Amino acid sequence: MQPMKPNYTQAIIDASHDGVIAVDKEANIMFVNRNAREILGLPDNIVGKKISMFIPNSDMLRILSTGKTELGDIATILNRQILINRLPIVMDGQIMGAVSTFKEITDIQKLEMHIRKTFNESGLEARYRLQDIVGSSEAMSEAKKLAAAFAKTAATILITGESGTGKELFAQGIHLASSRAAGPFVAINCAALPGNLLESELFGYEEGAFTGARRGGKSGLFEQAHGGTLFLDEIGEMSLPIQAMLLRVLQEKRVRRIGGEKMIPVDVRIVAATNRNLEESIENKQFRSDLYYRINVLTLELPPLRDRLEDIPELLKHIMKETGERSDKNIAEVDEVIYTWFGQYDWPGNIRELRNVVERMVLLCEGERLGEEDISFFLRKLMQKSNKHNKGSVEENEKTALLSALQYTNGNKSEAAKALGIDRTTLWRKLKKYELE
């Protein structure tokens, strides 16, 4: 093989997007590319001259002396912030020179934005920060504070809470508050896929691994989440065989595709979530204790909506604004009676159920204010759905719904029965039962 000609070598380093400058062991400039001259403000025809003539007290001299690599140094040159890497050139154990590469910080920021946009387009980016999560009650403030502290660690996290409490929002917020924020955020619902499909999604497969396998194979979510966070939602629904595979990956930090032989190193932080009591699942032989202790290093328990009813006004206005923007509706006010009725309900579906109710109200509202006329369907919820979490009895809940309906209709019993979805005879019977006539 013939050695490359000098002008060809120069063309190669000029093609580099980074600035590149190299010196020999006597600190004479051997190479400098176009970007380096532009970033550093250097003249042409400087090869062969001492670097100190153009960059007094150059840090390259230190590299020649120490032979140590310096990465990620930030300096301001010609009013621009530059990220600089300096490395020794070593041949046969001897320092023969040094090379420096550098890039403008703005270029790095643009690259990061491009990467994040790519992740977003492929569904591999978190969107919600912890500060974006609505709720300022003591319970939610404490949960967000704890999540922020957890984000600073590298430990696995288990988020627990009822369905609809916002577990994935917290997982995204933790990712964006962590040192992995620039990396991918990959989420999967373990209950949404049957065992064999979940296995191929998590670990990937090689071509021909099974009937219908994609040509060329497919990377699994562990590989896709490399350098970032993998969110395993509803991990309590995962089958025991896949739990064993997951445990092995967490222990070895390597994954093997289905049908493959090569072990692929992965650097992934696990955030898992469940609405189950995993300790009970362990007792019932439905969840592995060793996996539980592996994922339960840090635990974040999210409160149900019924335990933070003071957040409802803030949540309602947030959902109302989002829905209004999507549906081109401008609803600015909410009747106080709506907050009163919402506070009498236990919200078994939590935020997800609240969102469903508020979206329906907004979409059907004909004015610019949510009022009594927009909530009749919700009164039927109060009447028909027993509050199994509330300390009060079903009778007390029913009585509350009757009083609410009468208040809503200004005492008109025919309208109250209609609002509750029952006939007048049933209403009269219940009023007599609770002595509300």
In the chain, CATH 3.40.50.300 covers 122-303
* The predicted structure's pLDDT at residue 3: 45
Looking at the predicted structure, is the pLDDT value of residue 390 above 60? no
Express the helix, strand and coil content of the chain in percent, nearest 5 each: 45, 20, 35
CA torsion 197-199-200-206 (nearest 10°) is -140
Report the share of the chain in percent with pLDDT over 90.
49
Looking at the predicted structure, is the pLDDT value of residue 123 above 60? no
* The predicted structure's pLDDT at residue 392: 53
253: left (phi over 0), alpha (psi -120 to 50) or beta: left
Report the share of the chain in percent with pLDDT over 70.
88
**Ranked by mean pLDDT, which of 217-226, 293-302, 390-399 comes out on top?**
293-302
Point out the least confidently predicted range of 30-44, 198-212, 227-241, 314-328.
Answer: 198-212
Instruction: Report residue 238's pLDDT band, with 50, 70 and 90 as the boundaries.
Output: very high
Looking at the predicted structure, is the pLDDT value of residue 359 above 80? yes
Higher pLDDT, 317 or 398: 317
Mean pLDDT score across all residues of the chain: 86
* The predicted structure's pLDDT at residue 80: 76
Looking at the predicted structure, is the pLDDT value of residue 309 above 60? yes
Instruction: Report residue 350's pLDDT band, with 50, 70 and 90 as the boundaries.
Output: very high
Spell out where 46-198 has E strands.
70-77, 80-91, 94-104, 157-160, 185-189
* The predicted structure's pLDDT at residue 267: 93
Find the mean pLDDT for residues 175-185.
93
Higher pLDDT, 358 or 413: 358
In the chain, CATH 3.30.450.20 covers 6-107
pLDDT tens digit sequence for 267-302: 999 999 999 999 999 999 999 999 999 999 999 999
Find the mean pLDDT for residues 262-266.
90
CATH entry 3.30.450.20 includes domain 6-107: yes
Q: What is the CA radius of gyration of the chain?
A: 31
pLDDT tens digit sequence for 98-114: 999 988 877 776 665 55
CATH number of 307-433: 1.10.8.60
pLDDT tens digit sequence for 22-43: 999 999 999 898 888 888 888 8
Higher pLDDT, 174 or 364: 174
In the chain, CATH 1.10.8.60 covers 307-433
Higher pLDDT, 272 or 206: 272
Higher pLDDT, 73 or 242: 242
Strands 254-255 and 229-233: unpaired
For residue 130, give the 3-state DSSP assignment. Answer: helix
CATH number of 122-303: 3.40.50.300
For residue 165, give the 3-state DSSP assignment. Answer: coil
Point out the least confidently predicted range of 7-16, 40-49, 94-103, 146-155.
Answer: 7-16
For residue 301, give the 3-state DSSP assignment. Answer: strand
* The predicted structure's pLDDT at residue 386: 44
Looking at the predicted structure, is the pLDDT value of residue 374 above 50? yes
- The model's pTM: 0.65
For helices 394-408 and 376-384, the axis angle rounded to 10 degrees is 160
Contacts of 284 (CB under 8 A, 6+ apart): none
Contact call for residues 55 and 62 (beta carbons, < 8 A):
no
* The predicted structure's pLDDT at residue 391: 46
Instruction: Name the nearest CA neighbour of 49 among 10, 25, 87, 23.
Output: 23
Find the mean pLDDT for residues 63-76.
87
Point out the least confidently predicted range of 27-31, 116-120, 219-223, 315-319.
Answer: 116-120
Higher pLDDT, 403 or 92: 92
